Structure 1
Amino acid sequence: MLGPRAWGGPCGQARLKASADDFCVTEVLNLELSGSGEHVWLLLEKREQNTEAVARLLARAAGIRLRDVGYAGLKDRQAVTRQWFSLHLPGREDPDLSSLWSADLRLIEQQRHQRKLQRGAHQANRFAIRLTDLQAERLQLDQRLQTLSRCGVPNYFGPQRFGHAGQNLFEARDWAARGALPPARGKRSRLLSSARSYLFNRVLAARVADGSWQQILDDDCVAFSDSRSHFAASRLAADDPRVKALDVHPTGPLWGQGEPPVDGPILALEQGIAAAEPVVCTWLAAAGLKQERRILRLPIGALTWHYPTADCLQLEFTLPTGCFATVVVRELVSLISSPAGELDSEH
């Protein structure tokens, strides 16, 4: 479901997530909480806990509806993650949640705020990843890491998006063929996202293959790393330093209703991929999704690394929301015994 690598074959192999402590994620919120309001915000550290399952635990313990629990994004189950949740409690005191806390679920911070925590509200995610059972030549790895830090990687949706053995995409195709949507909201969202992600990955794969994934072409539509808005490449100067600085990037389509904001060869490429998947594209538009764009090039913020032992590589870096740490790892090594079903979303 992913396309070609950008920087050559793997430098070796390693194991990802031999234990939950090998994969740590911290949300970067970049928001000042007011200290008062109808919503209680909780920063939790969870170990091998599913985000949605924790939301249900919080709703039950606080005596509120699940819809009144907010979180910015889904985080990995097989990991140690720090993320925010909000509870809507108008006119009520802070609930006693002490019965929930354990070695696997810990309260770090609690504050009041006026608003619910919305999906995608965090600015970025900070990752600390340990690759174990490493079998690779260190000089080659160091050179590759320097390239990734300087140039970024293709911003593929990771295999987590498609489910174990691609099951989400298979189900999405089945529903699309019937022209119907799953009645359950969570499943509907998951399958629509999988289909959109697959089409985006195909466009990105084509541009990695022809070398244009990190070039801004005349007919491109571009966007900044941390913005959902986009604009025509013609508005950029040919020597705009923000392109080289990895602040602004070419984009690819997230399918839905509306006309693509690109032209020429870029439009021909995107329409060609859509034409190969007419049933899926029609299904996405009929579901009410609007055309959106996603950056093709993924900048890796504050990348550092070291080797705690001869067979272990420790990585730390920051990625924008909605991006996948596993596509960074993929440009370094192939993974030993890491089934896709063990990799959850990194949003």
Structure 2
Amino acid sequence: MNKIYSLNHSPIDFHFSQNPRDFIVREVPLYHFSNEGEHHILNVRKKGLNTIEMINIFSSILGIKSSEIGYSGLKDKNAMTSQYISINKKFTQNLDSILPLLEEKNIKILSCTYHNNKLKIGHLKGNNFFIRLKKVTPSVFEKINSVLKIIEKNGLPNYFGYQRFGKDGENFLEGQKIVRGELKIKNKRMSDFLISSYQSFLFNQWLNFRVKISKIFQAFEPQEILQALCMDNIFSEYRQTNIQNLKTLDIAKIKSIKNQPSLFKLFEGDIMHHYPYGKVFELETQNDISRFFDRNITPTGLLSGKKVLNATKVAGEIETCFIDKSIHATGTRRFAWIWIENLKYNYIQENAWLELEFFLPKGSYATTLIEEIAHRNVKID
């Protein structure tokens, strides 16, 4: 995908290496644990392992099925990450005895508590990140500093990161074959993961298109916007062939959309979400546009599947172009736009390092922020 970034600066040159020294992730749980109950909650730090690999190591050492172990989210392999897992306490009576075996595998238990419920996917508030950028000259730092201030104020598109699509970036093709009956994989967890990669690909395609349309509204005058929307070549790189309602917007509606204060432009029928928690609902009033700018609500994109609320009207017509109805997995809505929180950064000029600390909500990728700053695909060692 030729990713479209929300800002307009030229590419910024710096070095980003995703490794345990320069990329640290700390999971923030959704709620406080009760310190009682049948589930042992472990705060686990790992290096050089993804979450599934870490779960499998616990499974092997404890002699239990991996499905007995609960977790809230997937964490990067090429990083130092800490996250919470849950194991029924009947399986952890000899936990102290396996600590050396875990440490041999680059796994360390940082703390323990208890809770009444098993952890499930999505049971996290978000993640705190530490990232070190290198080869940052003083002039480059000034550029990054300016961009960060804009992002901190306006937010950024919530693309799925490259990690979602595998080493070669083509996991979604396998997922597409599975949902179309062209490929069968016996391992259900792997099959579900590949299907989710395909859902993520469709979401990214939709979001890329919406960012592109938003930038057209941002950059041009109403009559020019109307002309641009009638040009078929703005649709050519996407899956859709025609979006009639978008092409037939009148000048008054175009002016209204253009005057929206946010970089991401909302359309009639968009599905919004209370931010960061709450329910989804359809965009209805002019007041909703102000609430989006004030960070109280955010637009959502579709992860194709069953039992999910779809957009309607203009937004729905666009969304339909990025749906694969052969996906029978459960669908959901995902934040299309997010805001960085608790941003702090420290420029170490003698080392040409810029160290960033920040929080992002669950499901968001720190590398997407890095690419928005760089305005290019970041090079990963």
User: TM over 0.5: same fold?
Assistant: yes
Q: Secondary structure at the match of 1:73?
A: coil
Q: Secondary structure at the match of 1:116?
A: coil
Counterpart amino acid of residue 71 in structure 1: Y
Q: Secondary structure at the match of 1:93?
A: coil
Whole-Å separation in 2 of the counterparts to 1:48 and 1:69: 20
In the alignment, which residue of structure 2 is the partner of 1:208? 211
Asked if 1 retains the 8 angstrom alpha-carbon contact of 2:173 and 2:198, the reply is no
Are 1:229 and 2:279 counterparts?
Answer: yes
Counterpart amino acid of residue 43 in structure 1: N
Deviation at 1:114, TM superposition (A): 1.9
When normalised by structure 1's length, the TM-score is 0.86
Encode CA deviations 1:257-284: one digit per residue, 9 max, x unaligned: 357532221111112333xxxxxx1331
Counterpart amino acid of residue 110 in structure 1: C
Equivalent position to 2:149, from 143, 146, 149? 146
Q: Secondary structure at the match of 2:266?
A: coil
Deviation at 1:109, TM superposition (A): 0.4
Counterpart amino acid of residue 135 in structure 2: D
In the alignment, which residue of structure 2 is the partner of 1:173? 176
Whole-Å separation in 2 of the counterparts to 1:290 and 1:176: 12
Asked if 2 retains the 8 angstrom alpha-carbon contact of 1:45 and 1:105, the reply is yes
Asked if 2 retains the 8 angstrom alpha-carbon contact of 1:37 and 1:112, the reply is yes
Whole-Å separation in 1 of the counterparts to 2:168 and 2:16: 18
Counterpart amino acid of residue 47 in structure 1: K
Farther off after superposition, 213-222 or 261-270: 213-222
In the alignment, which residue of structure 2 is the partner of 1:328? 369
Asked if 2 retains the 8 angstrom alpha-carbon contact of 1:29 and 1:121, the reply is yes
Farther off after superposition, 253-262 or 196-205: 253-262
Counterpart amino acid of residue 132 in structure 2: R
Whole-Å separation in 1 of the counterparts to 2:54 and 2:288: 48
Counterpart amino acid of residue 93 in structure 1: Q
Larger radius of gyration: 2
Change (3 A) 1:175 1:19: closer
Structure number with greater CO (CA < 8 Å, separation at least 6) is 1
Counterpart amino acid of residue 363 in structure 2: G
Whole-Å separation in 2 of the counterparts to 1:191 and 1:228: 28
Asked if 1 retains the 8 angstrom alpha-carbon contact of 2:370 and 2:378, the reply is no
Farther off after superposition, 67-76 or 2-11: 2-11
Farther off after superposition, 126-135 or 85-94: 85-94
In the alignment, which residue of structure 1 is the partner of 2:296? 247
Asked if 2 retains the 8 angstrom alpha-carbon contact of 1:3 and 1:205, the reply is yes
Change (3 A) 1:255 1:167: same
Q: Secondary structure at the match of 1:178?
A: coil
Higher percent of residues as strand: 1
1:87-166 aligned within 5 A: 87-90=87-90, 93=93, 95-96=95-96, 97-102=98-103, 104-134=106-136, 137-166=140-169
Q: Secondary structure at the match of 1:137?
A: helix
Gaps of 5+ in 2: 218-262
- Large movers: runs of 4+ above 6 Å: none
Counterpart amino acid of residue 338 in structure 1: I
Encode CA deviations 1:106-152: one digit per residue, 9 max, x unaligned: 22101122221111111110111011123552222111000010011
Farther off after superposition, 169-178 or 87-96: 87-96
1:1-347 aligned within 5 A: 1=1, 3-17=3-17, 19-90=19-90, 93=93, 95-96=95-96, 97-102=98-103, 104-134=106-136, 137-211=140-214, 214-227=264-277, 229-234=279-284, 237-238=287-288, 240=290, 242-257=291-306, 260-274=309-323, 281-285=324-328, 289-309=329-349, 311-333=352-374, 334=376, 337-338=379-380
When normalised by structure 2's length, the TM-score is 0.79
Gaps of 5+ in 1: 275-280, 340-347
Counterpart amino acid of residue 14 in structure 1: F
Change (3 A) 1:22 1:248: same
Deviation at 1:251, TM superposition (A): 1.4
Asked if 1 retains the 8 angstrom alpha-carbon contact of 2:20 and 2:78, the reply is yes
Aligned residue pairs: how many?
329
For the aligned residue pairs, the C-alpha RMSD in angstroms reads 2.4
Counterpart amino acid of residue 178 in structure 1: G
Identity, in percent, stands at: 26
Counterpart amino acid of residue 293 in structure 1: R
